């Protein structure tokens, strides 16, 4: 495996990160997880924009546009076309003479940029929704859920709690409202009136959560399809509604559309992937397949690398 570290492609055993990196000491950084199918990176513009927004909020100076060329270079270096790609940008290491553990960084700080990719299933593998079981647990994370921070201890603890309970994942809830899974957004099919059903995803304003790229792709496809497809409503989702749901699904870069068949030991619906999950997975596969493949030429790569170099050079 070749990884990217601060402008160089190196083997894992050659990679070195300073122990005083603020990502290691404070969790002071952001990340993005991307997915490539047959060499095409899904939703790249959305990933770049989300990273750009998060970096601006965190006041970390790095040009998110550099992700374009660097991702292609990383995939090519590892000869992968179907892959999961992970990028992490931390604030970096304080310059010589600057405090090592100051909460507010001072002086010159050069961001640390790290990336790797791993083989992942091809798009053709997603003919049926995979399934998981879950528990509900109180959301103890910070309130800036829209920022894709590397500070994931809250998510890790929730996942450990789920494992301790014999479940695969955790659904995070706060003040009676559903937020998301431990690493993916959530959709539920809930009762609407006496006989109807409504497909709901928690709105970003209702609880601290991430604006997932897979969620965004399905919401955009939903608007394009209009009444022909599954209508997904964005609103607050209560824990009471979750308990009465006929289907519950997770949406994510690696998760794609995964059905939760049991929550807190109780069966969801008939305990298998339902028709809405199948429809949403079919829509997602279609959206990914229809995305225009934009090959990054040598000039674009050079521009992206130049953007990376200029954004990380701090004198």
Q: Domain limits of the chain?
A: 2-124+294-312, 130-273
Question: What pLDDT is attached to residue 217?
Answer: 94
**Contact partners, residue 223, CB within 8 Å, separation at least 6:** none
Q: Do domains 2-124+294-312 and 130-273 have the same CATH topology?
A: no
pLDDT of residue 296: 41
Which DSSP symbol is given to 13? Answer: G
Task: Judge contact between 86 and 120, C-beta under 8 A.
Answer: no
Q: What are 103's two structure tokens?
A: 């909460």
Report whether CATH 2.40.10.10 matches the domain 130-273. no
CATH class, domain 2-124+294-312, is alpha beta
Contact assessment for residue 7 and residue 92, using Cβ atoms and an 8 Å cutoff: no
φ, ψ dihedrals at 71, nearest 5°: -65, -45
What's the pLDDT score for residue 298?
Answer: 43
DSSP for 198-220, please give it: EEEEE-TTTSS----HHHHHHHH
pLDDT of residue 227: 53
Backbone angles phi, psi at 222, to 5 degrees: -60, -40
End-to-end Cα distance, the chain: 32
Q: Classify the C-alpha dihedral 147-150-151-156 as positive or negative.
A: positive
Full pLDDT tens readout for the chain, 315 residues: 999 999 999 999 999 999 999 999 999 999 999 999 999 999 999 999 999 999 999 999 999 999 999 999 999 999 999 999 999 999 999 988 888 888 988 878 899 999 999 999 999 999 999 999 999 999 999 888 889 999 999 999 999 999 999 999 999 999 999 999 999 999 999 998 777 899 999 999 999 999 999 999 999 988 766 556 789 999 999 999 999 999 999 999 999 999 999 999 999 999 999 999 999 999 999 999 998 544 444 444 555 555 545 544 443
Tokens coding 230: 């599954």
């Amino acid at each position: 495996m070749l990884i990217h570290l601060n402008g160089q492609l190196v083997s894992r055993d050659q990679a070195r990160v300073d122990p005083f990196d603020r990502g290691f000491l404070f969790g002071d950084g952001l990340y993005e997880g991307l997915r490539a199918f047959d060499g095409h990176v899904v939703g790249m513009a959305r990933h770049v924009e989300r990273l750009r927004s998060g970096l601006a909020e965190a006041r970390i100076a790095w040009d998110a546009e550099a992700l374009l060329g660097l991702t292609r270079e990383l995939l090519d270096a590892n000869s992968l076309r179907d892959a999961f790609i992970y990028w992490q940008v931390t604030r970096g290491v304080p310059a010589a003479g600057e405090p090592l553990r100051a909460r507010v960084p001072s002086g010159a700080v050069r961001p640390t940029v790290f990336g790797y990719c791993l083989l992942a299933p091809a798009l053709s593998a997603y003919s049926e929704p995979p399934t998981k079981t879950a528990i509900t647990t109180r959301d103890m994370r910070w309130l800036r859920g829209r920022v894709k921070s590397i500070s994931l201890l809250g998510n890790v603890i929730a996942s450990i709690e789920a494992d301790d309970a014999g479940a695969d994942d955790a659904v995070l809830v706060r003040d009676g409202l559903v937020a998301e899974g431990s690493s993916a957004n959530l959709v539920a099919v809930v009762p609407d009136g006496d006989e109807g059903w409504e497909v709901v995803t928690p709105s970003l304003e209702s609880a601290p959560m991430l604006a997932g790229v897979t969620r965004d792709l399905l919401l955009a496809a939903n608007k394009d399809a209009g009444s022909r497809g599954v209508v997904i409503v964005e609103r607050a989702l209560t824990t009471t509604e979750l308990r009465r749901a006929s289907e519950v699904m997770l949406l994510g870069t690696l998760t794609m559309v995964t059905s939760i068949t049991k929550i807190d030991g109780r069966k969801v619906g008939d305990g298998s992937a339902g028709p809405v999950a199948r429809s949403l997975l079919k829509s997602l596969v279609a959206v990914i397949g229809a995305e225009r493949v934009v090959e990054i030429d040598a000039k674009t790569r050079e521009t992206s690398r130049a953007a990376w170099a200029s954004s990380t050079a701090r004198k």
